[in-house]
């Protein structure tokens, strides 16, 4: 998802996936997007979920 005009509002979809039971996403590249503070905060909270198996975030 790098450089795809991803915004903070789009983070809700990714956060939902990351927090879902047995999420298969292990690596996620969100570089060069305009996530803004709200998007980064949502991602930060999602990383704390016990269901989140993400190992690499760019």
Tokens of 46: 């999602």
pLDDT tens per residue, range 2-51? 888 888 888 888 899 899 988 899 999 999 999 889 999 999 999 998 88
Give the CA dihedral 7, 33, 43, 41, nearest 10 degrees.
-70
This prediction has a pTM of 0.78
Q: Which DSSP string do the residues of 9-24 spell out, in sequence order?
A: TTHHHHHHHHHSTT--
Longest CA span, the chain: 29
Predicted local confidence at residue 57, as pLDDT: 92
């Amino acid at each position: 998802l790098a450089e795809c005009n991803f915004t903070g509002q789009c983070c809700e979809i990714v956060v939902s996936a990351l927090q879902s039971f047995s999420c298969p996403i292990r690596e996620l590249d969100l570089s060069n997007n305009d996530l803004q503070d709200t998007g980064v905060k949502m991602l930060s909270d999602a990383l704390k979920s016990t269901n989140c198996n993400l190992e690499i975030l760019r």
